[in-house]
Amino acid sequence: MSKNTNFVLDLGLIDYSLAYNLQKQAVAEVIAGGPERVLLCEHPSVLTLGRMADEKYILASREELHRRGINVLAVDRGGEVTLHAPGQLVVYPILDLKKHGKDIKAYMHQLEEIAIQFLELYGISSSRNSGKTGIWIGSKKIVSIGVGVKKWVTFHGLGININTDLKLFSLINPCGLGVNMTSVENIKGQSVDFKKAKKDFADVFVKHFAFVRT
């Protein structure tokens, strides 16, 4: 593989902390001149708190979370409390923004656009919500976005509800917005092939950023 070849890695179902360590390693490699990449995965149920998050948006008690085996982790991304769970497609782009406009706001807009195009593949019309990050279907949110940037290299990313158990969102006030969440499965009325969804998203992402896939 050449030094400048970009690539997609499927991490499968992976512990959040392990995936975060892989992100940090990838960020260091990209800062050092290594290839950009995008990591695709899903996580066992976990709650994460962004840099400015308020724990009041966690609605379940710590005892209840412990009983369910759900950890709460503080992370270095923007945004409030977020739930990750099986059936949610989590995407971690490790990109050098010096090659993509050096504009964080524009980058997040690109992530939203990629998500919109991905959902269109499933016959789902979605949109932005003015002043709020993420992607929505009417009043319900389907994609959450929170990013981190170090020396213009991105990490963290998107959570797209594919077959996610939506009842789990009752544990939190998602993103502090008091919003209801939805999923591709909920909208389509049937479970979606998760492996295919990962491939479909990767295809849209790679095309948008003009990656060379390996």
Q: Could you list the active site residues? A: 175
What is the biggest distance separating any 2 CA atoms in the chain, rounded to whole angstroms?
A: 50
**Cα distance between residue 57 and residue 77, in whole Å:** 16
How is residue 196 annotated by DSSP?
A: H
Non-local CB neighbours of 89 within 8 Å, separated by 6+ positions: 40, 42, 158, 159, 160, 162, 194, 197, 198, 201
Tell me the HSE value of 104 on the side-chain side, using a 13 A CA sphere.
Answer: 16
Closest by Cα among 106, 170, 114 to 143: 114
Contacts of 202 (CB under 8 A, 6+ apart): 8, 38, 40, 213
Query: And the tokens for 132?
Result: 């709020």
